Amino acid sequence: MNRRRNGIDPVHRSRARRRALQAIYAWQISGGNEQQVIAQFAHEQAHEIADLEYFEDLVRGVMKHRKDIDTALVEFLDRTVEEVDPIERAALRIASYELRHRPDVPYRVVINEAIDSTKRFGSEHGHTYVNGVLDHAAAAWRRAEFDAAHK
């Protein structure tokens, strides 16, 4: 079944997010610059028939806006950003980038994708933490959209 919406294939976007999670995780652990991180994962990304452009936007966006994202996240965390599990931290950074810089993506899609990625790659209960943080963040950062969905 093809579930394209506005020319966007959600399966390809999901794959792009999963690969971006792996790329951001690797960057958090070992560093490197934007080009190195993208190059390391882009080849595999292309073979997965994913949205390569979206993958690159996520990685570049998180790396470019990391300080702003981390500062904004602090309000919703019960610990410092650096104390958050690396997989959960990567998922939160990607979702925060999407919530703050990609208004074309519905907030519920952002949260669901972050939860799914964290379930797949993170600790046993990491997805519940990610869900709670992002739910509060979405309520603050996308107030009108959040309120409309909760009427």
Rounded distance between C-alpha atoms, residue 142 and residue 94, angstroms:
16
Residue 10: how many other CB atoms lie within 10 Å: 14
Per-residue pLDDT of the chain (151 residues; tens, 9 = 90+): 345 555 678 888 998 999 999 999 999 999 888 888 888 877 665 556 668 899 999 999 999 999 999 999 999 999 999 999 999 999 999 999 999 999 999 999 999 999 999 999 999 999 999 999 999 999 999 999 988 988 8
Distances (CA, A) of 99 to 32, 37, 50, 114, 124: 25, 22, 21, 11, 25
- Walk me through the domains of the chain, giving residue ranges and CATH numbers: 10-149 (1.10.940.10)
**Quick check: 108 and 99 in contact, CB under 8 A?**
no
pLDDT at 150: 85
Rounded distance between C-alpha atoms, residue 71 and residue 55, angstroms:
23
pLDDT at 69: 98
pLDDT at 48: 60
